[in-house]
Amino acid sequence: MYNMFYMGMQVTIRDVDPKVFQEFKADAIRKGLTLGVAVTLAMKKFREEFTKKRPLFTALLKPFDGGKGSEHVSEEADAIMYGE
């Protein structure tokens, strides 16, 4: 199914949740993958997700024109909310 030919390395991983590991291993077997290939794919996916550039929240905000007479809406809202 997956052709990955590379020189592998042996690793020891501590503090792995046994239930999660068994489920992961079973999923790999069902997909016809070796555990090494499945872990490699999972590590690649992890890196893609955590190195992905995400837009800043402020980039989602776009200025808008409220139209004539809305020039002081912010100050008016402050006066109502904070008594200024």
Is residue 2 predicted with pLDDT exceeding 60?
A: no
- How is residue 49 written in tokens? 């997700």
CB 2 within 8 A of CB 44: no
What phi and psi, each to the nearest 5 degrees, are found at residue 51?
-110, 5
The percent of residues above 90 in pLDDT, for the chain, comes to 43
Q: What pLDDT score was predicted for residue 55?
A: 74
**What are the sequence ranges of the domains in the chain?**
18-82
